[in-house]
Amino acid sequence: MTKFPVVYHPDYVTPLPAGHRFPMPKFQLLRDLLVRDRVIDECQIYQPGPPPREWLQLVHEADYVQAYCEGTLAAKAQRRIGLPWSEGLVRRTCTAVGGTILTAKLALQHGVACNTAGGTHHAFPSYGSGFCIFNDMAIALKVLQLQSLIRTALIVDLDVHQGDGTAFIFRDDPSVFTFSMHCGINFPARKQQSDLDVPLAENTGDEEYLAVLRSHLNALLTRLQPDLVLYDAGVDVHQADRLGKLALSDKGIFARDRTVLKTCVATGIPVACVIGGGYGENMNALIYRHSLLHRAAKTVLTQ
């Protein structure tokens, strides 16, 4: 089985002001690169839709959801998100949440599925932060539980920043185990408590990073036996990332993604992947780093 599902929608991209540091074009460029390099075929691409507000409210407070969707969020709360409000961004945000829900459902059917967006792990129930508006991973898991598709899940968050929003959302929920391996001195300044936090020193490189990951991942899967793994494959761990402080190479990121996917496949646990954070001046280099997740999936599934 090599034709794993890949989730994408043109609404993943919406205009931002010139010079904004969030690399909005990367989502379409990633999709285009995957097809051009024949990592995937067009027939593997599934298109999501936006979820109903009731699904957003499984995680987020109704007043916050309404204020954001209708453009009445207070200016201070909007600044904390770091993205200027627009109707297009509302559509983009909701469609990306729908994309992660679809990715999770496809993973249950096919064993592996990859979004070309997602990983908004800094969103809390009543506010957004760090370019994250609604917490797509938390919403997806709540929807799958509501629909009795899963009971338990493991979030493997390997973005360079701690998954503070998801840690907070699931802090009292034993059905979802949150594992965050991140740079200890990076954003957010105030960390939340995940079920397992592994803070790494600045400039941790490939060899040490992979050794630490392997020392935890196998044990977690064996002990928890979750119905689904939700994997945040942020590439802001890269040595050239503008907002990260670790020192992984392209080779290291590919080995990381391959390790996560191979371990899940070997244990028969479905894994749904989101691309997480990634920031850089060189857009071509950035989208290539994001494509390593999908390249790793293809490699694992052809063995």
Per the structure block, which two tokens stand in for 270? 């479905």
Q: Report the candidate in 138, 142, 101, 99 with the shortest Cα–Cα distance to residue 121.
A: 138
**Is residue 3, in this structure, part of any structural domain at all?**
no
Per the structure block, which two tokens stand in for 147? 């629909």
Phi and psi of 49, rounded to 5°?
A: -125, 170
Rounded CA-CA distance 237/233 in Å is 9
Per residue in 159-170, pLDDT (tens digit) is 999 999 999 999
> Which CATH number characterizes residue 236's domain?
3.40.800.20
pTM for the full predicted model? 0.97
**Is residue 9, in this structure, part of any structural domain at all?**
no
Catalytic pick among 122, 161, 238, 290: 122
Counting as low any pLDDT under 50, the low residues of the chain are none
How many domains is the chain partitioned into structurally? 1
**Is residue 285, in this structure, part of any structural domain at all?**
yes
**Predicted local distance difference test score (pLDDT) of residue 117:** 98
C-alpha to C-alpha distances, 213 to 234, 292, 300, nearest whole angstrom? 14, 17, 18
**Is residue 112, in this structure, part of any structural domain at all?**
yes
Strands (E), the chain: 6-7, 45-46, 112-115, 153-157, 176-183, 196-200, 228-232, 271-274
Complete edge-to-edge strand list for the sheet that includes strand 45-46: 45-46, 6-7, 112-115, 271-274, 228-232, 153-157, 176-183, 196-200
Per residue in 176-235, pLDDT (tens digit) is 999 999 999 988 889 999 999 999 999 999 999 999 999 999 999 999 999 999 999 999
Other C-beta atoms lying within 10 Å of the C-beta of residue 263: 21
Q: What angle do CA 283, 158, 25 make, to 5 degrees?
A: 25
Can you tell me whether residue 115 is helix, strand or coil? Answer: strand
The dihedral built from the CA positions of residue 286, 272, 203 and 277, taken in this order, carries a sign that is positive
Cβ burial of 190 (10 Å; 0-12, 13-18, 19+) is exposed
Residue 120: domain span? 23-301
Q: Report the candidate in 188, 301, 190, 183 with the shortest Cα–Cα distance to residue 247.
A: 183
For the CA atoms of the chain, what is the radius of gyration? Answer: 17
Is the link from the previous residue into 23 a cis peptide, with omega within 30 of 0? no
**Is residue 13, in this structure, part of any structural domain at all?**
no
**Is residue 15, in this structure, part of any structural domain at all?**
no
Active site residue 9: no
**Is residue 204, in this structure, part of any structural domain at all?**
yes
**Is residue 289, in this structure, part of any structural domain at all?**
yes
**Predicted local distance difference test score (pLDDT) of residue 3:** 87
Question: DSSP code of 44?
Answer: G
**Predicted local distance difference test score (pLDDT) of residue 187:** 85
Question: DSSP code of 158?
Answer: -
Q: Report the candidate in 166, 252, 266, 276 with the shortest Cα–Cα distance to residue 221.
A: 266
Rounded CA-CA distance 112/28 in Å is 21
